[in-house]
Amino acid sequence: MNQKENSSSDKALTFKQRLSIQFTKYWKYTRKWFPFAALIGAVCGVLMSLFTALVVNLQVWLDVIPIYVRFPIVGGITSLFLYFGFREVRGAGMSFVLKHKNTTTPIRPRVILTKFITSVLTLGVNSPAGREGPAVTLGSATSSVIGDKLGMTKEDEMHAITIGAAACTAAVFRAPLGGTVFASEVPYKRDLDETVFLPALVASAIAMLISDALLRLMHSTPAYFDLGPINLDLTFINSLHFIIIGIFAGFFGIGFSILFKLLAKWVEKYLKAFLLPFFGMLLTTLVVYFVDKYSLPTGVSLEGTGFLSINSLVADYGSITIGILLILLIGKILVTSTCVGFGNSAGVMGPSLVTGASLGALYAKMVPSIEPIAVPVIVVSMSAMHTATTKTPIASMILVLEMVGFPNLVIPFILSNAMAFIISMDFSLYGGQIESKEVILRRRIQYTDLLTTLTVKESMEEEYPTVNDDASLQESFSLLYLHKTSALLVEDKNGQLQGIISAIDFQTGFASGKTYVHEVMTKDVIIAFPDETLNQAFDRLTENGIECMPVVDREKRTHVVGIIRFRDIENRYETALTKLQSQRELTMEEIEDVI
């Protein structure tokens, strides 16, 4: 059935029939995801309340033990887990989860127990680490296990992972919207998983409410931000300062990411991988012990997630010196790299917020004219640094806004986070992130036999933009933007194919002073035939590094019958997968190649 027939069929449907189709479609989605989201929210709420309560109480109980005893012991325990093959306990766990999500590989039930134990111990001794990594791993594993028990398809199970990750993140930070956006945004550097966003939001709200209620009953509420009320007079000059903060955060984010990843790789040349957590904790102990004892004032420390240090930084801003801020900034980056970067089981959000707060305070100290807005600068810098180190700009804004309760900082957050995201490029503390969902889809296409059963004719677009070979470059150039395409087919007055002109050809023509399309167009056109398979078309596009090519008649190759693009192949592939209810999953080796 062609496009015209499809359009005619749609028009033939009555309003009642169309309404029935839409209701059936959305009811199927609602019935599938919302009960599951409610279940996951409840389970994750209970799970994270137990997790947080244990961490909070262990920090009190174990505080009497010197850090040069408790830190190495926990590092040694993590090393033992790695020695016996429990790789999921390594580091934040984010790369572990993302590899399973992107390869549609179920997460084993044991992950819930192993990650829970090692993360509670790591955070319980007040090591310099965050809680988001364990939260995402525990939520993802819980959703994967429950989804598997309920008979979900592997594709649905991967979306279920987002719901669980969102619920546990929301519960641990009391930030349902931020937790949901974070879980949706973190798998990709320039995309997000929006398929189950609303169910994930529901699960997050339920998890946060249950966790908060249980923690109050257990008298185990953790430390959160307590920065007090704030007023910000947002002027044009102030906005420039927030942009500058974003630029600084971007550069420091690059340094943080490089040190975090490369330091452990360098040490690994001389040690077996499973020993890294233990050795890392030894290094962390040395730095934390001497810096905290001899360099930092009471209330500010390299230990822990850093929320209390940020509260002290804001409360005692006037008495904090530039030297202390530099020590806190560089010290926190170093100890996070030796602790979490060397594989101890915890996250990086807390440390990244502390480094951001230190950077913001340092900037405010060095630019005395902005002292009246020092606190907003500190808070905005926290979010900017988290953006720069995790590539989650939207989640970073929302999470910090929810945690500190400063809605009037939305615009400063946007300005600084945008600059931090741009400046820090692809550097990130999280392994396992890919550019976007399109990368995974194209890699799945590359490794599937399904495309050999589909033809170009059933996937090509029969309507496509063209330009005459004697048309002017200046007038034709706007057609690229009008049709949102990267190239135009060039035809003569009789409608016969003469060539193709891309955006690069236009740029070359303008630079060399050319006037007409035929002077810069590509005459040796790469083509496809209607009876070819999509596999052949996909390979041709990939091998030649192009996004589209004309489809021509075999007998008369200047007669164009359509155009085939990557997105046409991707759309047809997804449709075929849905119809067949089957899919070939990526292997861990293939996803590593993508990363």
Please count the structural domains in the chain: 3
Separation in Å, CA 301 to CA 304, 307, 319: 8, 10, 15
Q: Which amino acid is at 235?
A: T
Contact 517, 490 (CB under 8 A): yes
Compute the half-sphere exposure of residue 544: CA atoms within 13 Å on the CB side of its CA: 17
Q: Is residue 437, in this structure, part of any structural domain at all?
A: no
Q: Which of 224, 256, 291 is the last residue of a domain?
A: 224
Q: Is residue 290, in this structure, part of any structural domain at all?
A: yes
**What is the chain's mean pLDDT, rounded?**
85
| 356-367 average pLDDT score | 95
563 and 512 within one domain: yes
Contact 370, 377 (CB under 8 A): yes
Q: What is the pLDDT of residue 357?
A: 96
Separation in Å, CA 258 to CA 49, 173, 187, 252, 344: 34, 27, 20, 10, 18
Q: Is residue 4, in this structure, part of any structural domain at all?
A: no
| 544-552 average pLDDT score | 89
Q: Which amino acid is at 580?
A: L
Q: Which of 423, 453, 476 is the last residue of a domain?
A: 423
115 and 247 within one domain: no
What is the crossing angle of helices 132-149 and 176-185, to 10°?
Answer: 80
Q: What is the pLDDT of residue 264?
A: 93
30 and 145 within one domain: yes
Task: Give the integer Cα–Cα distance in Å for 5 and 115.
Answer: 55
Task: Give the integer Cα–Cα distance in Å for 484 and 507.
Answer: 17
591 has a pLDDT exceeding 90: no
447 and 311 within one domain: no
Q: Is residue 396, in this structure, part of any structural domain at all?
A: yes
Q: What is the pTM (predicted TM-score) of this model?
A: 0.71
Q: Which amino acid is at 581?
A: Q
Separation in Å, CA 162 to CA 156, 165, 167, 199, 393: 10, 5, 9, 10, 18
555 and 406 within one domain: no
257 and 191 within one domain: no
Q: What is the pLDDT of residue 341?
A: 95
Q: Is residue 255, in this structure, part of any structural domain at all?
A: yes
200 and 266 within one domain: no
Q: What is the pLDDT of residue 543?
A: 86
Q: What is the pLDDT of residue 473?
A: 86
Q: Is residue 11, in this structure, part of any structural domain at all?
A: no
Q: Which of 423, 458, 479 is the last residue of a domain?
A: 423
* Residue 86's CATH number: 1.10.3080.10
333 and 264 within one domain: yes
Q: Average the pLDDT over each of 29-43, 332-346, 400-414 and give the range with the smallest value.
A: 400-414
| DSSP assignment string, 500-549 | EEEHHHHHHHHHHT--BGGGTSB-S---B-TTSBHHHHHHHHHHHT-SEE
Q: Is residue 474, in this structure, part of any structural domain at all?
A: yes
255 has a pLDDT exceeding 90: yes
| 526-540 average pLDDT score | 90
Task: Give the integer Cα–Cα distance in Å for 521 and 118.
Answer: 61
6 has a pLDDT exceeding 60: no
Q: Is residue 2, in this structure, part of any structural domain at all?
A: no
Q: Which domain holds residue 401?
A: 236-423
Q: Six-digit token pair at 211?
A: 């966790």
201 and 161 within one domain: yes
Task: Give the integer Cα–Cα distance in Å for 549 and 71.
Answer: 60
Q: Return the top range by mean pLDDT from 170-184, 225-239, 248-262.
A: 248-262
243 and 215 within one domain: no
* Residue 566's CATH number: 3.10.580.10
Q: What is the pLDDT of residue 503?
A: 82
Q: Which residues contact 568 (CB under 8 A, 6 or more apart)?
A: 459, 460, 461
| 438-454 average pLDDT score | 64
388 and 292 within one domain: yes
203 and 346 within one domain: no
Q: What is the pLDDT of residue 441?
A: 57
Task: Give the integer Cα–Cα distance in Å for 545 and 526.
Answer: 11
